[in-house]
Amino acid sequence: MQNWRRNKFAFSVLFLPPAAWLVIFFTLPLAIVWVYSFGARGPLGEIILDWSAVSLGNYARSLEWINLEIVAKSIWIAVVATAICIGLGFPLAMGIAFASPRYRNILLLLVILPFWTNLLIRTYAWIAVLRERGHVNFALEWLHDTINGGLAVLGLPALLGAFEPLQLLYNQNAVIIGIVYVNLPFMVLPLYATLEKLDRSYLEASLDLGAGQWRTLFSVTVPLSLPGISTGVLLTFILALGSFLTPDLLGGPDSIMIGNLIAQQFGSARDWPFGAALSFLLMYATFIILWVKAMVAKREGGSAF
Amino acid sequence: MMNRIKAGRVTRRDFLVGAAAAGVAIGAHSRIARSAEEKKLNVYNWDTYIGETTLSTFTGSTGIEVQYDFYANNDELFAKLKAGNPGYDVIIPSDSYVADMISLDMLMAIDHGKIPNLKHIDSDPNFSNPPFNPGLKYGVPYLWGTIGIGYRKSKVENPDSWGLLLDSDKYSGRIALMADARSVMGLALKYLGFSMNSQNQAELDKARDLLIKQKVHIKTFAEDNGQDLLLSGECDIVMEWNGDIIHAAEEDDDVGYVVPKEGTQVWIDNVCIPVGAPHPENALLFLNHLLDPQVNAEIANTIKYATPNKAARELVSPEDLANPAIYPTPEVVARSESLVSVGEFTPAYDKAWTEVQAA
Amino acid sequence: MSISTATATPAPRLRRPRRDIGPLDYTKRAWMRLLLAVNFVFLYFPIVALIAFSFNDSKRNITWQGFTFKYYTQAFNNNALQDAFTNSLMIAAISTAVSTVLGTMLGVALHRYRFPAKDVVESWVHLPIVIPEICMGVAMLALFALIKFPLGLATVIVSHIAFSIPFVAVVVRARMAGFDLSLEEASRDLGANQWQTFWNVTFPYLIPGAVAGGLLALTLSLDDFVITFFTSGPGSTTFPIKIYSMVRFSVTPEVNAASTILIVLTLTLTVVAMAMQGRGGNKKI
């Protein structure tokens, strides 16, 4: 790593344009909303920013028990979804990274392709798959009837009773399936980017020195791909935490997540200051996690992300 | 507009200054163009919430090109216009939103002299002088309807009370409510015998407790797709907008719609011109066009909602007119309420709703 | 596109156990293929259902009623749908191009330079990923209202670029983490100037990261509803906005048809782009 002073010109050319874009079109607007977060909601949903109204009230309210409950549930769902994403995504990324170069791009494209359909449409497609009269239950019913029919042919009594469709929708599991589906590429892409550039001679060495495939996987491949894993976990977790459409459409009556709560403040509740405060608390929390991670990484001499 | 702000609504000055500034900027621009307004009109509405020929006949008779853009619900519309009108000429907000927008100076007063077709509006004060828009000063009624029970006739017999959805385990696991805080809380209040617009914390708590108790029997709070749940057989009894169930019933004879005995929420959508509209003259022409009996009847016949336009009703299909799901009887309307803004009490509703969802 | 890299050494052919599967040819192993199959079934089950039912002769996608093309005809005759479609593709193309370039620059800068308060800057760069979409949407709306910039395609594109840059930067940064800076030193020692070094050594190495990041940016842009909603004005309705607006009156199979067209179209464009880039890239490396 170079000190930027050694090459001020190159550093400026690389760093300033994207940084300026983010300052103007991200930090600046966010600063406006940050100011809102200290305001109060007027009776019609206006934002009151008088000195008399300015307070930390919205932040205090964010820490009310009911909101913390929602946060805790959201974190739990995000953790489970992220774990499943790793479980599915790591082998997927590995399969792509170790495929012959000819197939890599095609496989990569196949991972991305489903995400070029709109999120709402994809979620509706999941509804069609999971509902009582959905594709999964239709398939199970067919299987069920076939078995019963087969038994009947053999002159045996039907072992299985009448088919009861599985209740796959409108519960926490459906929400998790939906979130995993939506966020899988955010796990796979960084993992792939890391695995693909992995110096394979380390793996060769491990295998040559007698370690089995599993040991090589867990003692060499996984540690070497930690930067990709942590990027993927971070992206997936953060995005999962902010989900709101998925719990809205696939969840049951108690599937509210922090993203829904925030969306409601900017929507029907018309409480932009409270919505802003909730958003910023979520951001501060993530900021701290990122910062701690960077510190730890620095101490270990590795890369931060 | 600036004067009104200076006149003393200090508390929301900061918000309004931004809105006003944006409005004035766009307004100034349009004033120059006013003398010969360009032949354009930016309509902001739900998708498919208009007749098939409405826009083309308007362009045909006036030469004005219509740019038609979409929002998905009133809250989105409100949020989008809150910081200033980004350039829309015509919007279609529902009743209580009209009231709030008027209070926040977001709507332009319309010049009745430029809308001769206004005379076709039903003289029933619900339409000609609604509480949310007295004297139709800030907009004209577009279409109206109810919220009711959509149900599967073969599974549910004579659903005459909100209690079947809100206070019974008879259809446990086969029930869907809407995901709208004010409507669901409001109908729970109504079932308990209170007003949908109650501003009494004790009443609101009772409604909240009722919903929390009922949650084990509710499959989901449907995001405006209760009719799909009904059609796919996922639910047998749902709370929904009448139009959605009417469309579902067209495809499936086994689907019915009824307004329960306790009464319900009546809604009216309105055509309004937001402050800062770049083409206000064209917008007035468009309002007049929508009220033309022929045009209005075509809209009503296409999307199967009730029209408040008396002359147009002559041209609406008799079948629809006789359908109580589309045109509820006066008794039903008399038992029902419209949502009005509850002002300072709004946060109490949102808190109760959050508690219902989180419980 | 050439994803083969400078450092990836081909598997040595010294040891060749049973059959033709090298020790690192994981993808050729049965268990890996099974896992890939599971993943792809998960990814494609809903999509295939969605595409299949765009040909279903029923307004409700519950049971199969017979084959029809009518929803495609309807989609093609629906001007509003086409406008939304064109807007979406145009916005996605521009924002992907710009954000991939800017995000890659940022990723490289973060990887290679040490500068004051770098930890803070790194965290700051991640903020657009962290912030709830709706909050950013409202923030953009507030900004444009404040500077009185009229909403339209330009504001949508600008916002899409803003939220895509960090995603590209993060992926490129992760890719660059394994880059051996001594390769650059070697290049300079061999007489290449800074620009040549970057173009011939660093750039080819980061391409896969930039491509992965770019694909993410494209995906985000095509799919974004919330931020687009708040930054769009008259005439800049996108495909997602159009679809969300249909929910009040039920989403029709027309949308399935349009989604299928969108998949096919973006797929074709990407494959063509990859093929072209692959040809150009091979010469360079």
Cβ of residue C165 closer than 8 Å to a chain A Cβ: yes
How would you classify the pairing of strands B218-222 and B175-178?
A: parallel
Interface test with A, best of C39, C121, C135 (most A CBs within 10 A): C135
Taking the CA atoms of residue A103, residue A107, residue A112 and residue A113 in that order, the dihedral angle to the nearest 10 degrees is 90
- A261 within a domain of the structure (yes/no): yes
Binding-face residues of C in 58-77 toward A, CB within 8 A = 61-63
Strands (E) located in C91-238: 113-114
Task: Tell me the CA distances in angstroms from B63 to B39, B57, B60, B115, one per residue in order.
Answer: 7, 10, 6, 18
Cβ of residue A217 closer than 8 Å to a chain C Cβ: no
Distance CA C155, CA C230 (A): 10
C133 CB neighbours in chain B (<8 A) are: none
Distance CA C123, CA A305 (A): 10
What mean pLDDT is predicted for residues B161-174? 94
pLDDT tens for each residue of B116-128? 999 999 999 989 9
Amino acid found at B71: Y
- A263 within a domain of the structure (yes/no): yes
- A33 within a domain of the structure (yes/no): no
Residues A304, C107 contacting (CB under 8 angstroms): no
CATH 3.20.20.70 correct for B2-138+268-327: no
pLDDT on residue C208: 79
Phi and psi at B112, nearest 5°, equal -60, -25
**Would you call B357 and A248 a contact, using CB atoms and an 8 Å cutoff?**
no
Residues B333, B265 contacting (CB under 8 angstroms): no
Are the folds of B2-138+268-327 and B145-265+337-358 the same? yes
A264 CB neighbours in chain B (<8 A) are: 181, 350, 353-354
pLDDT on residue C248: 65
| Domain B145-265+337-358 superfamily per CATH | Periplasmic binding protein-like II (3.40.190.10)
Q: How many domains does chain A have?
A: 1
Amino acid found at B91: I
Residue of C nearest to B231 (CA): C60
Percent of chain A scoring above 90 in pLDDT: 32
Percent of chain B scoring above 90 in pLDDT: 73
Contacts (Cβ under 8 Å, ≥6 apart) of C190: none
**Would you call B354 and A69 a contact, using CB atoms and an 8 Å cutoff?**
no
pLDDT on residue A88: 94
Chain C positions with Cβ closer than 8 Å to B: 59-60, 62, 80, 138, 141-142, 144-146, 148, 150-152, 229-230, 232-237, 241-242, 244-250
Alpha carbon of C80: minimum distance to chain B alpha carbons (Å): 8
pLDDT on residue C227: 92
pLDDT on residue B224: 81
Maximum mean pLDDT: which of A231-235, B211-215, B251-255, C219-223: B211-215
- Which residue from C176, C175, C194, C174 is spatially nearest to C184, judged by alpha carbons? C194
Q: What is the 3-state secondary structure (H, E, C) of chain A?
A: CEEHHHHHHHHHHHHHHHHHHHHHHHHHHHHHHHHHCCCEECCCCCEECCCCCCCCHHHHHHCCHHHHHHHHHHHHHHHHHHHHHHHHHHHHHHHHHCCCHHHHHHHHHHHHHHHHCCHHHHHHHHHHHHCCCCHHHHHHHHHHHHHHHHHHHCCCCCCCCCCCCCCCCCCHHHHHHHHHHHHHHHHHHHHHHHHHHCCHHHHHHHHHCCCCHHHHHHHHHHHHCHHHHHHHHHHHHHHHHCCCHHHHHHCCCCCCCHHHHHHHHHCCCCCHHHHHHHHHHHHHHHHHHHHHHHHHHHHCCCCCC
Distance CA C85, CA C76 (A): 11
Cβ of residue A104 closer than 8 Å to a chain B Cβ: no
pLDDT on residue A52: 79
pLDDT on residue C49: 87
What b/e string do you get for A223-253 counting C-beta neighbours within 10 Å, with b at 16 or more? ebbbbbbbbbbbbbbbbbbbbbbbbbbbbbb
- A230 within a domain of the structure (yes/no): yes
**Would you call B357 and A253 a contact, using CB atoms and an 8 Å cutoff?**
yes
pLDDT tens for each residue of B254-289? 999 999 999 999 999 999 999 999 999 999 999 999
DSSP C212-273: HHHHHHHHHHHH--HHHHHH--TT---HHHHHHHHGGG---HHHHHHHHHHHHHHHHHHHHH
Opening angle at CA A283, ends A278 and A289, nearest 5:
135
Work out the pLDDT band at B36, boundaries 50, 70, 90.
low
pLDDT on residue C283: 35
**Which of the residue ranges A13-27, A192-206, B74-88, B202-216 would you say has the lowest mean pLDDT?**
A192-206
| Domain membership of residue A187 as a residue range | 50-116+170-299
Spacing of C-alpha B161 from chain mean position: 23
B343 CB neighbours in chain A (<8 A) are: 43-44
Distance CA A92, CA C152 (A): 39
Work out the pLDDT band at B13, boundaries 50, 70, 90.
very low
Residue of A nearest to C29 (CA): A95
pLDDT in tens, chain C (285 residues): 333 444 444 444 455 445 567 777 777 788 888 888 999 999 999 998 888 888 988 777 677 788 888 889 888 888 888 889 899 999 999 999 999 999 999 999 998 888 888 888 888 887 888 787 888 888 999 899 888 888 999 999 999 999 999 989 988 887 887 787 788 888 888 888 878 888 888 888 888 788 878 888 988 898 898 899 999 999 899 988 888 887 767 677 888 888 888 888 878 877 777 776 655 444 332
pLDDT tens for each residue of B305-341? 999 999 999 999 999 999 999 999 999 999 999 988 8
What mean pLDDT is predicted for residues A216-228? 85
| Signed CA dihedral, C53, C59, C65, C68: sign only | negative
Q: Which chains touch B (3 or more CB pairs under 8 A)?
A: A, C
- A196 within a domain of the structure (yes/no): yes
Between residues B10 and A218, the one the model is more confident about: A218
Interface test with A, best of B175, B232, B357 (most A CBs within 10 A): B357
Q: Which chains touch C (3 or more CB pairs under 8 A)?
A: A, B
**Which of the residue ranges A145-154, A276-285, A289-298, B22-31 would you say has the lowest mean pLDDT?**
B22-31
pLDDT on residue C277: 60
Work out the pLDDT band at A304, boundaries 50, 70, 90.
very low
How would you classify the pairing of strands B140-152 and B255-258?
A: antiparallel
pLDDT on residue B20: 41
pLDDT over 60 at A86, yes or no: yes
Task: Tell me the CA distances in angstroms from A78 to A71, A254, C280, one per residue in order.
Answer: 10, 16, 42
Residue of C nearest to B24 (CA): C148
Query: Residue B83: exposed, middle, or buried by beta-carbon count in 10 A (0-12, 13-18, 19+)?
Result: buried
A95 CB neighbours in chain C (<8 A) are: 26-27, 32-33, 35-36, 39
**Would you call B10 and A50 a contact, using CB atoms and an 8 Å cutoff?**
yes
pLDDT on residue B11: 39
**Would you call C248 and B251 a contact, using CB atoms and an 8 Å cutoff?**
no
Query: For chain B, what are the domain ranges?
Result: 2-138+268-327, 145-265+337-358
Amino acid found at B184: V
Query: Residue B316: exposed, middle, or buried by beta-carbon count in 10 A (0-12, 13-18, 19+)?
Result: buried
- The secondary structure element, H or E, covering residue B40 is strand B40-45
Between residues C75 and A73, the one the model is more confident about: A73
pLDDT over 90 at B354, yes or no: yes
What mean pLDDT is predicted for residues B71-96? 91
Determine the number of helices (DSSP H) and then strands (DSSP E) in chain C.
Answer: 12, 1
Interface test with B, best of C159, C245, C256 (most B CBs within 10 A): C245
C255 CB neighbours in chain B (<8 A) are: none
pLDDT on residue C8: 43
Second-level CATH architecture of C73-284: Orthogonal Bundle (1.10)
Number of residues written out for chain B? 359
Residues B96, B340 contacting (CB under 8 angstroms): yes
What CATH number does the domain containing A192 carry? 1.10.3720.10
What mean pLDDT is predicted for residues B55-60? 94
Tell me what the pLDDT averaged over chain B comes to.
88
pLDDT on residue A74: 93
In B252-317, alpha helices (H): 280-291, 293-303, 310-313
pLDDT tens for each residue of B176-193? 999 999 999 999 999 999
Work out the pLDDT band at B159, boundaries 50, 70, 90.
very high
Cβ of residue A202 closer than 8 Å to a chain C Cβ: no
Distance CA B13, CA B32 (A): 28
